[in-house]
Structure 1
Amino acid sequence: MAISYIVFDLEWNQSPRGKVGKLPDLPSEIIEVGAVKLDENLETVSEFSRFVRPFIYKKLDYRVRALTNIQTGQLQKEGKAFAQVMREFFHWCGMDSGEEVIFCSWGNMDLLELQRNLHFFHIRNPFSYPLFYYDVQKLYGRCFPDAEKKATALATAVEALGLEEEGAFHRAIEDARYTAKVLQQLPFEALKVYRSLDYYHLPANEDEELYIDFPDYAKYVSRIFPDRDSAIHDKTVTDMLCYRCHRMLKKKLRWFSANQRSYYCIAVCPEHGLLRGKLKIRRAEGMQVYCIKTTKFVNQETAERIAQLQQTLREKQNLKNRKLPHRRNP
């Protein structure tokens, strides 16, 4: 079966009144969809571009107008209802004809916002679980170590690769074209294994929890927990396993909190060496949370640097505790 890569981009609006007028279930409303379809050789096949007529936030926020140069009247005149645009978009993608479709985007926000809008407007979500896609921004970062340290702007990548700039950035179809051009410049065959996982739908129970091995690291995605304390005291969350030989490891440096949302530890595999664990606690709904644990082999220098971080945090906490006023017994 042939594979189609859908490189897409969205523009969205928000409440022009800020937090006052923002709906919790729809903080961002999609106003433009742009996409480029590539074949399995990353050759361009066709394009898709539509305006969406806003239904909730009918007046454009001034920052959105300034960024995109889209006008409210333009959306009202040229835009179609979101449900109609989605029918046309998914048909164009080939999703209703059984084609194998893989989505690609610059960053991780577009798929999230697309599914959030589908849910809000009661439109069937056609994506399967788990949903893997290609984050071209991350793939670009893997090719350029300096870019991997922080999220690179699409315009920066286009300039760095010497690509011709033909249209304005921050328009859906133009950004989709630029993202496709960046992808076409990368050694995609070597990068194919580095698929990203969409977190809109999360594991509902232990059976659905995800364990994903990559060439140089492994990832675990947990089920939803009622709160952070429940998550960080769960054995599966805190266990350290070698992703090469799959044995349970002894921790050389136990989990410690770096900033209440990120935790680190060091474990030792007798066969493969030092393994760094990094645990991120992310908010789901309300007080609920889920965990993303990544494990990666590191050298002695990196392990010592993490141990030093723990020691520095301890010293800061001890200093803070000494400065706290002592209560006198009544």
Structure 2
Amino acid sequence: MNKETHTPLTTQDTPLAGRIALVAGATRGAGRALAVELGRSGATVYVTGRTTRERASEVGRTSETIEETAELVTAAGGTGIAVPTDHLDEERVRALVERIDHEQGRLDILVNDLWGGDHLLIGSVFGKKSWETPLADGLRILELGVRSHVITAALALPLLIRSDAPLHVEVTDGTAVSNRRYRENIYYDLAKSAPIRIAYGLGEELASYGGTAVAVTPGFLRSEQMLTHFGVTEESWRDAIAQEPTFAIAESPLFLARGVAALAADPDRAERWNGKSTSSGELGRVYGVRDADGSCPDAWAFIEDTVYGGKEGAAEDYR
């Protein structure tokens, strides 16, 4: 009888083995992919969010849960631990940090991917002046996109700095360069620019601890929610280009996740990235990672050149 053999995993395959990560906002989209890829690299990953198998958040989606994300982390080779958490609730966040402290004694990687405000954008925010935007919606966007990040960072950083190489990742929409352009509405602009400044400021504070703080952004993300918006699937996503031509440059959540996992394993990450903002496209070039289809899309360069710059160019030219 032939005995099946398996090639053992090496530290090269699992460069984050033994590392403890928290991905705040890991229910779906980039957060879920980030958690899974950190797990694939060997990390123990605490995944948080508001949608569980028993309860949905205000986003209103029940097809993705934090329990499922944790299972995907474990299936990828890591250890996934789901902890239902509303990151606007200080006591819940304190309890989360205390649990990680009790179970692990430290935190090495904090990924702040909190958002959950897309349902407020279409019709309520985009296309409206600040004074035309319902104030309650605008303030909710700031709570979801800024206050939640600040609460989580403030309460988790004392645990993070116990690590020998603390890494704080702020996930947002846009880089310091791209966000020099107004992001259509003042509330959205503030919500997506603040994480860039958070990373810059925390980079200053973490430097003396040998730490790194960096803001990262995907390009045009093919999240579950975006695919639903266009009425397509991951397999048929190109059908949405007829509705939105710039969707031709869209990328899967895996692309950013692979880039961040490579960054987390980079021994020179502080020198390269501390206090800076970067994109999935730049991480792909620096670390040689590719999207699921083997491409390396640079959505921000494509949009800057063709949408704002008026240049002729096909999306394939930017992959």
The structure carrying a bigger helix percent of its residues is 2
TM-score for both structures, normalised by structure 1: 0.29
TM-score for both structures, normalised by structure 2: 0.30
The structure carrying a bigger strand percent of its residues is 1
Larger RCO (CA within 8 A; separation ≥ 6) = 2
Whichever of the two has the greater Rg, that structure is 1
